[in-house]
Amino acid sequence: MENQSAKIEKAIFAAGCFWGVEEAFSRLPGVTNTKVGYIGGKIGNPTYKEICTDTTGHAEAVEIEFDSTKISYGQLLDFFWEVHDPTTLNRQGPDYGSQYRSAIFYFSSEQEQQAQQSKEKLNSSGKFNRQIVTQIISTTTFYDAEDYHQQYLKKNPRGYCHISFDKLFAK
């Protein structure tokens, strides 16, 4: 068997509070790096305090670098749908506001097409009683969140999170 060289690509997902979303994606084999930040808003270099006002238009998001020879964008999309409720508008668990919206920020027309197909397939599957409200948007500038937010749950293992890791990784 040939040893393929790594092919690093990027994906950006917003699925509520970015602490748990980052932790969940970082556990996937083939994910080489994650960082949290803000995307999709109307001001440059937003701070956490600013985005929490729900007036900047930014979403809390996770930028994921992945080796596409080990995990596909489609597999990341499947996981994205599992880590949050894509039918709640601007809300995940107890967190609410547009900064907690469900969104996929695509880097290419191929990612856009895969995201749209994935969303349509899930919408018609009957898994949810409501329609999926996830936005599928072209990537704009991703602003890194403050250092204390990066790898937050690794630094604070008892920190708050809306994701049930035991259920997600029970396999």
Q: Dihedral sign, CA of 53, 148, 25, 64? A: positive
Q: Dihedral sign, CA of 133, 134, 137, 143? A: positive
Question: How far, in Å, are 31, 98, 104 from residue 53 at the CA level?
Answer: 32, 10, 22
Question: How far, in Å, are 48, 118, 132, 137 from residue 87 at the CA level?
Answer: 25, 14, 4, 17
Give the number of other CB atoms < 10 A from CB of residue 50: 16
Please tell me the number of Cα atoms within 13 Å of 42 on its side-chain side.
Answer: 5
**Is 161 annotated as catalytic?**
no
Alpha carbons 91 and 156: distance in angstroms, whole number = 23
- Are 168 and 21 in contact by the 8 Å Cβ rule? The answer is no
The active-site residue out of 12, 17, 21, 36 is 17
Angle at 64 between CA 14 and CA 115, to 5 degrees: 55
Active site residues: 17
